[in-house]
Amino acid sequence: MTDIVLRIELLHTDPLVWRRVLVPAQINLRRLHDVIQLVMGWEDDHLYEFECEGRRYGEPDPFGVPGMDDVAQAANLKLQTLVARLKKNEFHYLYDFGDGWEHRIVVEQSGLENSNPCPRVLDGAMACPPEDIGGIPGYEAFKAALAGHADEHGEMLLEAIGSDFDPTLFDQNEAAAALVPIQAGFRRT
């Protein structure tokens, strides 16, 4: 077994929200989704999908959303298999089809000697936007409200979320602690 270093970038954020994680090559995409949720700070309340070389992987949709019937099971594909298919060293992850949080995942290193604990967060920057905020436009309105430059939408978001949110804060220790339950499934000697 080997490990892979991934850089996860939340596209269209300025400054860029990103995380660097070390994950086992044999992790399946469903479990990778869990890792992304924890290190980014998402709450796992919405559908998701991975896209690689025109193929889509996610969960079966219990509500029959159109266009989701051609999505393969994320649990059935291991990261090492997906990485082997890449023409470039990147693939994409979409979270919350309403807000449309688009992520680019770059394979920075692969074939690394396995390590413990794994998965683990190596680095990152900026806070992840709150859920159900209206995607990038909502996040920009919220940040403007935090800075005292709010329009009506920004004020509404500020009232709903609160002013204690710091968009510049990434707490690596908090992200690391969130991964402990997943690490138990990948214990190595």
| Sign of the dihedral through C-alpha 176, 179, 184, 189 | negative
Q: Measured between alpha carbons, how far is 182 from 77 in angstroms, rounded to an integer?
A: 18
According to the 3-state scheme, what is the secondary structure of 94-155? EECCCCCEEEEEEEEEEEEECCCCCCEEEEEECCCCCCCCCHHHHHHHHHHHHCCCCCHHHH
pLDDT given at position 60: 72
Tens of pLDDT, residues 46-69:
999 999 989 999 987 666 666 666
Average pLDDT over residues 40-48: 94
Tell me the pTM.
0.93
CA atoms within 13 A on the CB side of 40: 30
Tell whether the model's pLDDT for residue 185 goes beyond 90.
no
pLDDT given at position 7: 98
Tens of pLDDT, residues 18-27:
999 999 999 9
CB atoms closer than 10 angstroms to residue 73: 13
Question: Hey, what amino acid is at 89?
Answer: N
Which residue ranges form the domains of the chain, and what is each CATH number?
Answer: 2-127+169-186 (3.10.290.30), 130-166 (no CATH)
| Sign of the dihedral through C-alpha 80, 118, 7, 14 | positive
CB atoms closer than 10 angstroms to residue 159: 11
